[in-house]
Structure 1
């Protein structure tokens, strides 16, 4: 939570400084590039798993850089590609526990907890490095940084860290480096809005888990994230 607060304060301070600098200099740049740094906050909704219930708020956070490459003279159309980091948190009734196999290897097991089972926390946290590429349309001009925009893209994400935590009255279980998780995630997204406020949506095209079963059924669980995206420079 402290990391979230620091990043938000830093981002909006940078944004205010940049806007003040532009206002003071009033330089018209006909070869401008737009929206090269981004930040978003989302609600994460898990899909395609029957019996799954999400509890509490499943949040997402993403920050990164996109190189803007205009393709027309007025610079209202462009391509962009870059690099980012994202953290996705899922609070649900998907329970993970380990059992000892006959060969001594510890296996992950999965279960959907019923509503009458008490637990304080059941959370999966996933950290990714993102490679986004997008097509951009905007109603921008060299004189104004306030305009309408519609950006659509495709994002490839590589899992660099994972952490599962379960807490109830009698135990606290923490598991990391789950081999059943998909290392590679990909999906489509869109950001659209006016000036500072932009609606953001991402739909994952492949499952979060590459293996793992519940009652003999594969965990074909994907994500749909919606929220707000902010841009600077």
Structure 2
């Protein structure tokens, strides 16, 4: 990630230096206006469908960051593969999930708790998204209407639970990091629409969150805002 950021900084410096002379200014201006949505940043509300009866969630949120490579197909259309990270935090209301390695159960189960909504299930994925894109302004992705549909495949890097409890009038935080219940891979359908650099997006997982679905079959979804550019 640091190497990517460093490379982008060098490219920015290069364009800035070119802009200081007449010919270089023209080339730099042309390169900057031919945006191809190289960078996607997404902030979302995340949800789980298929939760057991009585189990509710709170203000869940997620964040995705992807680097994409735009390949033109024909007028206004292109395909863009990419790579990046996706994170999600699901907050349970008065329930908890025992994710400890000492738990011998193979099926995830939710139990009631007095944590007052302070129980979080967090996941981090390495994602490979692919989009089919439409751009109204094919020369400049920073302007005009844009739409994209696609899929993404993700590999689970981390899954952990975090619970805040009150013990003897003191706050205690318990954290359990384990992927024992979770599918190592996720596959999701994606869609987004934008006007210029700002838009809306949505995703829906095509496979369940947990490995064992004999008792619960939960799928994840996200809706939110997207910032695209470069």
TM-score bin, normalised by smaller chain: 0.7 to 0.9
Are 1:123 and 1:165, in contact at CA under 8 Å, matched by a contact in 2?
Answer: yes
Deviations 1:13-61 (A, max 9, x none): x8xx89x96xx745446x9461111100000011012322012x21100
Deviation at 1:138, TM superposition (A): 0.8
Are 2:125 and 2:156, in contact at CA under 8 Å, matched by a contact in 1?
Answer: yes
Deviations 1:168-220 (A, max 9, x none): 223643211231111101110111020122111011111111127xxxx5221
Task: Evaluate the alpha carbon distance shift between residue 110 and residue 190 of structure 1 in structure 2; reply closer, same or farther with a 3 A threshold.
Answer: same
- Counterpart in the other structure of 1:228: 225
Moved over 6 A (4+): none
Deviation at 1:120, TM superposition (A): 5.3
Q: CA RMSD in A?
A: 2.9
The answer to whether structure 1 residue 50 and structure 2 residue 52 are counterparts is yes
Deviation at 1:145, TM superposition (A): 2.9
Deviation at 1:119, TM superposition (A): 3.3
Task: Evaluate the alpha carbon distance shift between residue 150 and residue 205 of structure 1 in structure 2; reply closer, same or farther with a 3 A threshold.
Answer: same
- Counterpart in the other structure of 1:71: 73
Q: How does 1:1-233 map to 2 (within 5 A)?
A: 25=25, 27-28=29-30, 32=34, 34-51=36-53, 52-55=55-58, 57-72=59-74, 74=75, 76-93=76-93, 94-97=95-98, 106-108=103-105, 110-113=109-112, 117-119=114-116, 121-142=118-139, 145-170=142-167, 172-211=173-212, 218-233=215-230
Q: How far apart are the structure 2 equivalents of 1:210 and 1:82?
A: 26
Q: How far apart are the structure 2 equivalents of 1:229 and 1:202?
A: 12
Task: Evaluate the alpha carbon distance shift between residue 99 and residue 125 of structure 1 in structure 2; reply closer, same or farther with a 3 A threshold.
Answer: closer
Q: How far apart are the structure 2 equivalents of 1:142 and 1:202?
A: 27
User: Which residues of structure 2 form unaligned runs of 5+?
Assistant: 20-24
TM superposition score normalised by structure 2: 0.77
Most deviating of 142-151 and 83-92:
142-151
Are 1:28 and 1:143, in contact at CA under 8 Å, matched by a contact in 2?
Answer: no
TM superposition score normalised by structure 1: 0.76
